[in-house]
Amino acid sequence: MIQDVLKEAQDHMQKAVEALKKEFATMRVGRATPALLEKVLVDYYGSQMPVNQLATITAPEARLLVIQPWDKGALGAIEKAILKSDLGLTPTNDGSVIRLTIPPLTQERRQELVKVAKKKAEEARVAIRNIRREANDQIKNLEKDKTVSEDEGKRGQDEVQKLTDKFIKTVDELLKSKEEEIMSV
């Protein structure tokens, strides 16, 4: 019983950490990576589609992304979507591909990115703590229903706390490395 609760809590906490990793991957830190465009949605024939479903995205150089759409008719829509996004990048369209030059970050922009990274990390910590609370509630309900003893319940809650500490430490480590990455580029 308690093992099921622990397993579920661990799975949910792992998903919170994975979501944070994805968020961090989409943050622009001066290096070109196709992950930057993951959240850019293109209005393509009346539906919203991610850029990576309409084109091949490559990073031939450290500060350059090349977007090659499979349908040349999508060039304008992709260009417009990038301009509307919050990336702050200006696409160059040569009629067959779109080039995105990633400018170096200013100190001010770096500090803004660190703030955003800290906010995302805090959201992940809150999510993990909410999972802990839910798991502890489930364990308390098992105790109340006399499915498990008080001692088992206490051990279960201790295990949930250990899991929580482990995942929050992982979030802190991810944040620390992202901060270093942002400030050192």
Final residue before a domain boundary, out of 101, 132, 155: 101
- What are residue 59's phi and psi, to 5 degrees? -120, 80
Residues 19-32: what's their mean pLDDT?
A: 79
Question: Which residues face 93 on adjacent strands?
Answer: 98
Same domain, 9 and 41: no
Residue 9 has pLDDT above 90, yes or no: yes
The domain total for the chain is 2
Instruction: Enter the pTM of the model.
Output: 0.71
Residues 82-109: what's their mean pLDDT?
A: 84
Residue 185 has pLDDT above 80, yes or no: no
Domain holding 20, by residue range, is: 1-27+106-184
Asked if residue 164 lies in contact with residue 132, where contact means CB atoms within 8 angstroms, the answer is yes
Residues 98-124: what's their mean pLDDT?
A: 87
Give the Cβ contact number of residue 183 at 10 Å: 14
Final residue before a domain boundary, out of 70, 101, 132: 101
Give the Cβ contact number of residue 130 at 10 Å: 12
Residues 26-49: what's their mean pLDDT?
A: 81
Residue 7 has pLDDT above 90, yes or no: yes
Length of the chain, in residues = 185
Q: What is the pLDDT of residues 43-58, one digit of tens each?
A: 888 889 888 888 999 9
Closest CA to 110 of 43, 11, 184, 31: 184
Give the Cβ contact number of residue 46 at 10 Å: 5
Final residue before a domain boundary, out of 55, 86, 101: 101
Residue 32 has pLDDT above 70, yes or no: yes
Q: In the prediction, which pLDDT does 30 show?
A: 65
Residues 149-157: what's their mean pLDDT?
A: 91
> Degrees (nearest 5) of the Cα angle 43, 44, 47?
70
* CATH code of the domain in which 155 resides: 1.10.132.20
Cβ partners under 8 Å of residue 23, min gap 6: 120
Same domain, 137 and 165: yes
Asked if residue 85 lies in contact with residue 158, where contact means CB atoms within 8 angstroms, the answer is no
